[in-house]
A and B are shown apart, each in its own frame.
Chain A
Amino acid sequence: AQKITQTQPGMFVQEKEAVTLDCTYDTSDQSYGLFWYKQPSSGEMIFLIYQGSYDEQNATEGRYSLNFQKARKSANLVISASQLGDSAMYFCAMRGDFGNEKLTFGTGTRLTIIP
C-alpha cells in the first residue's frame, strides 16, 4: 500500500521568501513517481512538478523544485521567491510501479503568502 504524509496543515510565509512544503511517503514499490499539485481557491488541480524514483537529479520547474531524498522517503516542494499568487492548497501525491497507476494523495498544506 502507498501512503503520503503531509504534516503541515497550514503555513504563512512573507512574500518573496522561499518556502518548503514537507512530504513523506511510504511504498513497497521499487519504481514510483512523486507529484506536487496546486489547488487555488477556484478549485482546479494544477500540476507543478514530477520526480521519478530513479531520477538522479532533483526536478525543477521554474520557481518550483523538488527536494528528493530517497533514503529518507521525502519529497519536499521548494518554492523560491514566493508570490501572492502562490497562496493555495498544495498536494503531494505518488503513483506506484507499472501496473499500479493510481495516484495516492496527501491531505494537503494550505499556504498563505503575506504581503
Chain B
Amino acid sequence: NAGVTQTPKFRILKIGQSMTLQCTQDMNHNYMYWYRQDPGMGLKLIYYSVGAGITDKGEVPNGYNVSRSTTEDFPLRLELAAPSQTSVYFCASSSIRLAGGTETQYFGPGTRLLVL
C-alpha cells in the first residue's frame, strides 16, 4: 500500500493564481483531512470529510475549497492565492472508529506551497 500520497511536493504560485493540491489514499478510509502547518507552529485543520460526498469546514477554511467524489481522493483547491497561504499542507486519512480500539490518522508527506 502506498498509504496517503500528495502531489505536488513543492509549488510556487503568484498572487491571484489558483491551483489544486491532490491527495489520494489507498486504505479505503472513510475520513480524510486537510491541514496546514505554518513555520514553527502546529497543524490547523482546513477541511475534512467523513465520506464521499460529505465535507465540512475546519478551523481555517477561508480561501480554500474541497470536494470528495470518491473514497480515495480529496483534492484541496486554492482559488486566489495569497501570501498568507504560504505554508506546508498535509493530507491525512483515518478509518471508522471502533469503540475501545486504537486509532490514528495517517499523514501524507506534505506539499510545500510558496505564494509570492
Contact = CB atoms under 8 A, between A and B. Distances in A.
A35 interface: yes
Interface residues of A, number: 23
A35 B103 CA distance: 9
For chain B, the bracket of interface size reads: 20 to 34
Given A47-B105, A101-B50, A103-B33, 4 more contacts: A45-B43, A55-B100, A104-B45, A104-B59
Contact of B31 (A47, A91, A101): A101
Given A43-B110, A103-B33, A50 B58 contact: no
Nearest to B112: A43
B45 A43 contact: no
10 contacts: A35-B104, A35-B105, A47-B104, A52-B102, A93-B42, A101-B31, A102-B59, A103-B43, A103-B105, A105-B43
A45 B48 contact: no
Interface of A: 4, 33, 35, 37, 43-45, 47, 50, 52, 54-55, 91, 93, 98, 101-108
Interface in B40-72: 41-45, 48, 50, 58-59
A102 B90 contact: no
Contacts of A54: 100
Interface string B74-116: 0000000000000010101010010010111111011000000
A112 to B, nearest CB: 15
